[in-house]
Chains A and B, each alone.
Chain A
């Protein structure tokens, strides 16, 4: 016959186990919340990169009726909306994805609204968006376009190392006849 009940020690151990299990469950909620906001940051960053890619795609890069090359190297897409007075599709320096090269970078807030360009992120900046234009052939009729959007929470927005939540898009654009 073993009907002597629990000792105090046994009860304490059982309660400790219960606590650990319950805390694990609560931890799950916290993790889910964190993941949710990361997902939002990631999808916003992807949208911002896609927007810039669309604008680079919209710049003039064609042969005119006489077969002459027409390249937009004057529209500034680092302001919102794009305006004259920028680099357009002019080939960028190799460092324009790693650092802030004027004309190839702009800054955005947590809703994805434009906050500024240049080299110093204004207050309220949550994302930095950089892009690079590279010519594949000597004639410059085929370009590699790259866009990189990084969340700037850690302050380590520079460098080539991958940052959590960043998005990088790459595409080719060929000169066509209009």
Chain B
């Protein structure tokens, strides 16, 4: 029973010295690793935002101008435009794009009677409409596009439906022309992507609502190309000749669109993870050494699928 003596002082000193050295080294490594964790999280977030932006813009651009069985919307009016629906005639901005299309399976028919400016009741031609529907499949509280063969187009809101009848109201500025009988009317989506430099957000508006697609966006540019990839400048979209009428009058050059390129630049929102190198960081941050996360520049090329 003499073996209960524990450590000698020397043993204790040696053991604690080794423990100190080892734990010091391990803690040092752990500290480095842990310091990198927020950078990893922020990097993941930045990549994720870049993917979301690409997806959101490319999906809408690919579907742009999809129309009714008579053809793509771009045969009749500008389905892709470098301005907001509320912008005036001849406005063109590199940071905005508005995309219009008829969603897959969207309701569509023609007017049975002319529709005068200010009229709120549209009489529909029921020929060819699904038999189980009373208003050709149109539903209340949706949007529709009304267009003729002269370049006139109006986005209208459907308030109520009846047998072969729609109660409509204009979404933006009023109609200034009478749509003749046989003008087409179709369920429609009108989506606008824009860049807000104040809040550094990429925004999407649809109907009356607007929401942010991504934060910490520091640049968004749309470029336009015609046949054979001839670049079309914004000036060409604002110099006329203009087609159509009222708020949706558009520059004829918009009918030449074949492809669109969007360039988006995103940054990390954490100042301390951005350095001062102007090539890597559009907005200099406050990082002093340590790891930084360079801005991401993402290009999205889309050829419009619906052109005829």
Using a CB–CB cutoff of 8 Å, the interface residues on chain A facing chain B are 1, 3-5, 8, 11-12, 15, 18-19, 22-23, 25-26, 29-30, 32-33, 36, 39-40, 43, 47, 50-52, 54-55, 57-60, 72, 74-75, 77, 81-84, 111-113, 177-178
Q: Which residue of B lies closest to A88 (CB)?
A: B228
- Cβ-defined contact, B19 with A54, below 8 A: no
A5 B26 Cβ-Cβ under 8 A: no
Q: Is the interface of A mostly helix, strand, loop or mixed?
A: helix
- Contact among B6, B26, B40 for A32, CB-based, below 8 A: B40
**What total of chain B residues lie within 8 Å of the partner, measured CB to CB?**
45
**A18: B residues at CB distance < 8 A:** 22, 26
Q: Are A81 and B225 in contact (CB under 8 A)?
A: yes
Sampled A-B contacts (23; CB under 8 Å): A15-B19, A15-B22, A22-B29, A23-B26, A25-B33, A26-B29, A29-B40, A32-B40, A33-B36, A33-B40, A36-B47, A40-B47, A43-B50, A51-B301, A54-B302, A55-B229, A55-B301, A58-B259, A58-B303, A59-B228, A75-B228, A81-B231, A111-B297
Q: Are A4 and B4 in contact (CB under 8 A)?
A: yes
Residues in A with CB closer than 8 Å to B296 are: 111
The verdict on A4 contacting B229 (CB below 8 Å), with A11-B15, A33-B40, A51-B301 known, is no
In the complex the two chains form, is B15's CB within 8 Å of A72's CB? no
> Inside 8 A of A11's CB, which chain B residues have their CB?
15, 19
Contact check, A36 vs B44: say whether CB atoms are below 8 A apart.
Answer: yes
Number of A-B pairs, beta carbon distance below 8 Å: 104
B182 to chain A, nearest CB (A): 25
Beta-carbon contact of A12 and B308 below 8 Å: no
Which residues from chain A contact B33 at a C-beta distance below 8 Å?
A: 25-26, 29-30
A36 partner residues in chain B, CB cutoff 8 A: 40, 43-44, 47
- Closest chain B CB from A23 CB (angstroms): 7
B 1-32 contacts with A by CB, 8 A: 1, 3-7, 11, 14-15, 18-19, 22, 26, 29-30, 32
Known: A12-B18, A15-B22, A18-B26. A178 touches B40 (CB 8 A): no
